[in-house]
Structure 1
Amino acid sequence: MPLEEIQHWTWVFGRAQQMMLDYSLREIEKARTNDPETPMSGFAAAGGAMLKAQTDFWSDSLKLWQRFLMPEEAPSEARALSEEIGRRADRDKRFSAPAWRDSPLFDLVRQSYLLVSDHLLKGVDAIDGLDARQKERIRFATRGFVDAMSPSNFPLSNPVVIEKTLETRGENLLKGLDHLLSDLGRGQLTHTDSGAFEVGRNVAVTPGKVIKRTPLYELIHYQPTTPQLMRTPLVIFPPWINRYYILDLNPEKSFIRWAVSQGLSVFIVSWKSADAGMKDVTWDDYILRGQIDAIDTVRDLLGVDAVHAIGYCVAGTTLAATLALLAARGEADKVRSATFFTAQVDFADAGELTLFVDDDQLSVIDALANDGFLDGRYMAATFNLLRSRDLIWNYVQNNYLLGQDYAPFDLLYWNGDTTNLPALWHRSYLTDLYRDNKLVQPGALSVDGTPIDLSLVKTPAYIQAGREDHIAPLQSVWKLTEHFAGPMRFLLAGSGHIAGVVNPPTSGKYQYWSHEGTAATLSEFLEKAVETKGSWWPDWIRWIEALDDTRVAARAARMPGKGRLKALEDAPGSYVRAR
């Protein structure tokens, strides 16, 4: 488009915004006088901040248009605003390609979009008369709308897509349409080349045996790689909303393989993906016939009094309840230590997931779960919405509009390998824990008829949080320290819900923060914590060894399938493959 045409259209749009700004200023002035004949007067009295935010928007819009309409004559504040937005746009990976800067028209498009986005979100913050939860719901919806309306998501407003379309003579759009139709057919957004991975072939490959199978889980025992083993074994409970092999993605990233190499006897629970036969499964089942059953199985198999236990995410929530039940029964000594990976027990500050727990959302879940289980694709879509820019719209641009091939990425393969959930239990989890926050109310919840109280838990606990976790926010994970009564070590890892946990020492990535003393609050911890580069796994194993470093020979029942429980099949087992 010739420069003259660009200047003409920027003048048109600029004049339109100027007219709207003038009108807005006139109405504000009328409202300021509280003229009873002015329909905006009541609104102004209740929402003056909103009106100010609107005025600021039109003022900034005018500055931006002036910068593009008359680049040499624009006032300094207009140039400064444009330069600031331009720098932000360059850092935003949606608009970082040179094509967004090379054309004045598309540079204007991206800067206008970012300006509108900022002011829409500021407008939410300026709304008066709403409680915090209502405002957060509006903010979440607005952010989702803003991300969806990005010009990068549409072929005619994305210069990179236009260039690709001309270069390939439209083949990119046809290929992208094929990707889109395929995803519609499977009912799920594709993030990676699923054909590049296979469970048991190049993911979930740490050697071991399935030694027990119940209607709820399989128990996998891993092959030792050291001649001596710690006497106290390790039992890992992964979240039942995902496949267990997030902790065994590949030999380089595998927490399981690394734990085995440290001399631990490692067991992991592989939860069954729910079907219609699990419609009556409840909270009691996951605690009694899941976690406690697995703990007792390992104790009996190896002839030990106690185990170390790990609970990841939601399995950490039920591990806390398991510890409280054992304490109430006088059986707390069955667990020597408990480690919590990004887990929550107090849901007062549980983040954006709480926005999905209201009567309307619960009604949707009920409608989707008419066979007694909830399709895992629903939960996958929910988690994608929490990071829609990265997990939805990024793939719309790359795979639907640009027609790019899917890159092989084991983490995204696992992310798309969904697990169905028992509907009755999932609904109870959302209402009793997320909505009503009963787990931290002594006696509000029971297991097998026994009221539980987290304040009775004195088991040594290692509590790990992720600095950028959007599923289990840092401030929410910290609250575990406020409800347990035993010795605790809190550690903050760099990155988020997955990369903050799956960070092997060999990667040399990220960092963690720890504090050797006590901290009464999260703020105090953050103030006193010392940063250490790299993985936090070595810190954890030192903590485990300090509790009990007694060693035994790696023989007999310490070898998978050689004890009282014989091998049923090789790891990773059958449940992880079931769809």
Structure 2
Amino acid sequence: MARQPEVTDKNVARSRARSATTAKGRPGEAAAETGSAAPGPKAAETPAPKAAVKPATRAKAAPKVAAKPAAKTRRAPAKAASATGAAKPPTAAKPRTKAAAPEPDQPQVAAPEPSKAASPKPAETPKPAETPAAKAAPPADAPAPSEAAQLPLARKMAENIERIEALGHRLVTALADRQPSNPGVEAPGPDLYVTATNAFLKTLAEQPGKMMGTQVSFWGETLANYVRAQKALAKGTLLAPEDDAPADKRFAHPLWQSHPFFNLIKTQYLTNARALRKASDSLDLPDAVSRRRIDWLTAQIVDMMAPTNFLATNPDALERAVETEGESLVKGLENLVRDVEQHGGEMIVSLADRRAFTVGDNIGTAPGTVVHRAPLFELIQYAPTTPQAHTLPLVIFPPWINKFYILDLKPQNSLIRWLVEQGQTLFVVSWKNPDASFAETGMEDYVTAYIEAMDKILELTGQSRLNTVGYCIAGTTLSLTLALLKQRGDRRVNSATLLTTLTDFSDQGEFTSFLQNDFVDGIDAEIRRHGLLPARLMSRTMSFLRANDLVWGPAIRSYMMGETPPAFDLLFWNGDATNLPGRMAMQYLRGLCQNNDFAGEGFDLLGHRLHVSDVTVPLCAVACESDHIAPWKDCWRGVSQMGSTDRTFILSQSGHVAGIVNPPTRKKYGHYLSEAGFDGGHQAWREGARFAEGSWWPEWGRWLAERSGPLREARDPGEGLDPAPGRYVHERAG
């Protein structure tokens, strides 16, 4: 910065004349800026005006004015320097009663309106009350408006600090409640890392040129990213060059593209991600299981290290923090503390606002009656809405990993209501949410519960046969039950419908990483400690199959943006998880998932060795095209091995839940039907399929009606034990 010229009487007059012209043209602005200056040291002094420049500029210019005498006997008052935001120079002389003249070449300074106050003669200097500017100025003992304007912000900051301190104590207390971690369920075992290391060393020894080429390519791309950002910064532009990165909703904010800094962060992250995947792909691994596990671990690292997961590199979160004066970060901390407290010290993000829904009040409201209660389940019959209903009753067995009201979220998407409207005499099982006292409850107890529920339904309706539905793991268990009834010669089941059901686990799909011995042994240890498989462990495992959508994205919105979780019924249900009895969980994981006994050598249960080929009843199976939990090709493969001669397979669009909860009124997702049969493999079936618009419900409804018997007067379930949805559905996992 150039040295400021000396202040002379001639320069003072010229400067004041120019300032007076500015003040005269903008009287309101001049008064406002004059009023914002700090008062002078004495009442007789005219308050020093506030410089209309950026604080950083004033801080550099003001000390030179204060340190350099205006004339031989005149020095700038110390208060004038403080009004500009500069520190008080140690050499400043004691101020005189005369107002100091501003520097002529100093950036524009608003001055009082021309009056005698501008005269350098002490005798002609009027009192502040005699000038318009002085009249507009605040009293000498009042705080400056600029300071007063900051008082609410200061109070808000103090309040936020107090809230943060209190929340910090709560967070520490909540984290102290966390049970000691079990390494077996926190991360893959050492075998996976040894396998990866050996594969890396082998590739390095056998193909050193390839490894070096990959590294050089990564360095070159990184330098190119840096140079591009440097050029954009040197030009002083916010328009970074276009990149060819694929669309990613995490980087939807314009600054990821337009700002050189954020663009560099994003581009380098994508470069790193490609390099990690390429390095993973180049490893020579011993088998397909190792390949899937390495790919899964690489994907977890890539997702975790996304710049959007960190406050300093998330422009959405930074903008929100500035806009709310930090309030969003405080609310985010409140959300974090709430989640840790609710989950026993575990950091599990809430996906939905739990205060927005009450089961039986505004969700799960289809009218019905609990007609039977057993230690493991409640049996609900839903009230008919048609004068007549089909003779053969229909029972739905929902999965006990979640609550049954996924089939009755809202009236407009309720499968339960729709089935009643089709004239079905409908019963639904509501499972008990087990605690540690159910530790020895096994798969045989659930199969026995299926048969008990059927017995009760046949007794209440006076029928000898019924139709059945099983969803997800309940469909797997229904298949076991059908195989058992076949071997016993029991023909009570007229037909069965399997929704997203796995019976052949030869391809473990995305669960491969979690179904190896290191993880399963860890789950076994957890079960021995608690007597059950805790709901939070199951929820976390399922969430990390879609980490960006179910972990990192919700965490960003809740903890960094300070948003309240959405009032979304499907996510509310997803968070209403249940515990699993310890014995049943290990039978399922070891016998069905790992050993694939049901589709292999046979699954031993209740004195029988059950095989998937023992399922011989008329069958309709529904799978979902983008289901990552029960992939449709695996569902198809299990059905193809069943002994039924009457088999129908329907492929719905969408995923594990949305593909099933797909009412006809939506017309959002279609479905596929095929006459190709089950002899040529799933791909041949798919190639021979025809597409049908809209929900699969009507197609299934016609199939079911043909097997439900004639219509008769609808059965009234009466008062029963309790109104639907019963008691068990309200039990929360501890």
Q: Give the TM-score normalised by the residue count of structure 2.
A: 0.68
**Whole-Å separation in 2 of the counterparts to 1:47 and 1:227:** 78
Counterpart residue type for residue 43 of structure 1? L
Q: Is the 8 A contact 1:47 1:127 kept in 2?
A: no
Equivalence for 1:312: 471
**Whole-Å separation in 1 of the counterparts to 2:276 and 2:326:** 35
Match of 1:547, SS? Answer: coil
Size of the aligned set, in residue pairs, is 521
Out of 177, 180, 203, which is 2:363 matched to?
203
**Whole-Å separation in 2 of the counterparts to 1:357 and 1:392:** 21
Counterpart residue type for residue 638 of structure 2? L
Alignment of 1:136-151 (within 5 A): 136-151=292-307
1:502 aligns with 2:631: no
**Whole-Å separation in 1 of the counterparts to 2:274 and 2:693:** 35
Equivalence for 1:354: 512
**Whole-Å separation in 2 of the counterparts to 1:113 and 1:302:** 63
Out of 463, 474, 478, which is 2:621 matched to?
463
Match of 1:247, SS? Answer: helix
Out of 266, 286, 299, which is 2:426 matched to?
266
Q: What do residues 125-172 of structure 1 show as CA deviations (whole Å, max 9, x unaligned)?
A: 221033111111111111111111110011101111111111111111
**Cα shift at 1:42:** 7.0
Alignment of 1:201-240 (within 5 A): 201-240=361-400
1:155 aligns with 2:311: yes
Q: What do residues 433-459 of structure 1 show as CA deviations (whole Å, max 9, x unaligned)?
A: 1111111124x3222101112212211
Unaligned runs of 5+ in 1: 1-38, 73-78
**Whole-Å separation in 1 of the counterparts to 2:309 and 2:251:** 11
Equivalence for 1:544: 704
1:43 aligns with 2:200: no
Match of 2:591, SS? Answer: helix
Out of 245, 248, 253, which is 2:408 matched to?
248
**Whole-Å separation in 1 of the counterparts to 2:654 and 2:294:** 27
Counterpart residue type for residue 334 of structure 2? D
**Whole-Å separation in 2 of the counterparts to 1:250 and 1:48:** 61
Q: Is the 8 A contact 1:349 1:475 kept in 2?
A: no
Equivalence for 2:716: 559
**Whole-Å separation in 1 of the counterparts to 2:578 and 2:658:** 20
**Cα shift at 1:63:** 4.5
**Cα shift at 1:251:** 0.7
Which structure has the larger Rg?
Answer: 2
Equivalence for 1:441: 600
Alignment of 1:2-401 (within 5 A): 43-45=204-206, 53-70=214-231, 83-85=243-245, 88=246, 91-187=247-343, 188-288=348-448, 290-331=449-490, 333-369=491-527, 370-401=529-560
**Whole-Å separation in 1 of the counterparts to 2:201 and 2:434:** 55
1:572 aligns with 2:725: yes
**Whole-Å separation in 2 of the counterparts to 1:54 and 1:535:** 50
**Cα shift at 1:297:** 1.6
Q: What do residues 397-442 of structure 1 show as CA deviations (whole Å, max 9, x unaligned)?
A: 1110011122100011111111111011101111111111111124
**Whole-Å separation in 1 of the counterparts to 2:211 and 2:581:** 44
CA pair 41-265 structure 1, distance change in 2 beyond 3 A: closer
Equivalence for 1:18: none
**Whole-Å separation in 2 of the counterparts to 1:516 and 1:42:** 48
**Whole-Å separation in 2 of the counterparts to 1:576 and 1:273:** 8
Q: What do residues 487-517 of structure 1 show as CA deviations (whole Å, max 9, x unaligned)?
A: 2111111111110111111122111111134
- Of all paired residues, the percent bearing the same amino acid is 41
Match of 1:507, SS? Answer: coil
Q: Which moved more, 1:527-536 or 1:169-178?
A: 527-536
Counterpart residue type for residue 494 of structure 2? R
Counterpart residue type for residue 208 of structure 1? G
Counterpart residue type for residue 603 of structure 2? L
**Whole-Å separation in 2 of the counterparts to 1:481 and 1:247:** 23
1:415 aligns with 2:574: yes
**Whole-Å separation in 1 of the counterparts to 2:317 and 2:694:** 39
Q: What do residues 172-202 of structure 1 show as CA deviations (whole Å, max 9, x unaligned)?
A: 1111011011111112321111101001001
CA pair 50-468 structure 1, distance change in 2 beyond 3 A: farther
Equivalence for 1:534: 694
Q: Give the TM-score normalised by the residue count of structure 1.
A: 0.86
Match of 1:406, SS? Answer: coil
Q: Is the 8 A contact 2:676 2:685 kept in 1?
A: no
**Whole-Å separation in 2 of the counterparts to 1:451 and 1:221:** 33
Match of 2:470, SS? Answer: strand
**Whole-Å separation in 2 of the counterparts to 1:48 and 1:316:** 52
**Whole-Å separation in 2 of the counterparts to 1:261 and 1:48:** 69
**Higher helix proportion (structure 1 or 2):** 1
Equivalence for 1:28: none
1:428 aligns with 2:587: yes
Q: Is the 8 A contact 1:350 1:472 kept in 2?
A: no
**Cα shift at 1:62:** 4.5
**Whole-Å separation in 2 of the counterparts to 1:373 and 1:367:** 10
Q: Is the 8 A contact 1:350 1:473 kept in 2?
A: no
Structure with the bigger RCO (C-alpha within 8 Å, sep 6+) is: 1
Out of 609, 622, 626, which is 1:451 matched to?
609
Counterpart residue type for residue 629 of structure 2? I
Q: Is the 8 A contact 1:323 1:457 kept in 2?
A: yes
**Whole-Å separation in 1 of the counterparts to 2:441 and 2:216:** 55
Match of 1:274, SS? Answer: coil
Q: Which moved more, 1:528-537 or 1:266-275?
A: 528-537
**Whole-Å separation in 2 of the counterparts to 1:530 and 1:190:** 40
CA pair 166-425 structure 1, distance change in 2 beyond 3 A: same
**Whole-Å separation in 2 of the counterparts to 1:440 and 1:262:** 35
Match of 1:297, SS? Answer: helix
**Whole-Å separation in 1 of the counterparts to 2:552 and 2:675:** 42
**Cα shift at 1:372:** 1.7
Q: Which moved more, 1:479-488 or 1:41-50?
A: 41-50
The root-mean-square deviation of aligned C-alpha atoms, in Å, is 2.2
**Cα shift at 1:396:** 1.4
**Cα shift at 1:364:** 2.6
**Whole-Å separation in 1 of the counterparts to 2:201 and 2:336:** 46
Match of 1:365, SS? Answer: helix
**Whole-Å separation in 1 of the counterparts to 2:725 and 2:285:** 54
Q: What do residues 298-319 of structure 1 show as CA deviations (whole Å, max 9, x unaligned)?
A: 1222122221111111011111
CA pair 559-168 structure 1, distance change in 2 beyond 3 A: same
**Whole-Å separation in 2 of the counterparts to 1:220 and 1:48:** 68
**Cα shift at 1:102:** 2.5
CA pair 67-268 structure 1, distance change in 2 beyond 3 A: same
**Cα shift at 1:70:** 4.9
Counterpart residue type for residue 449 of structure 1? G
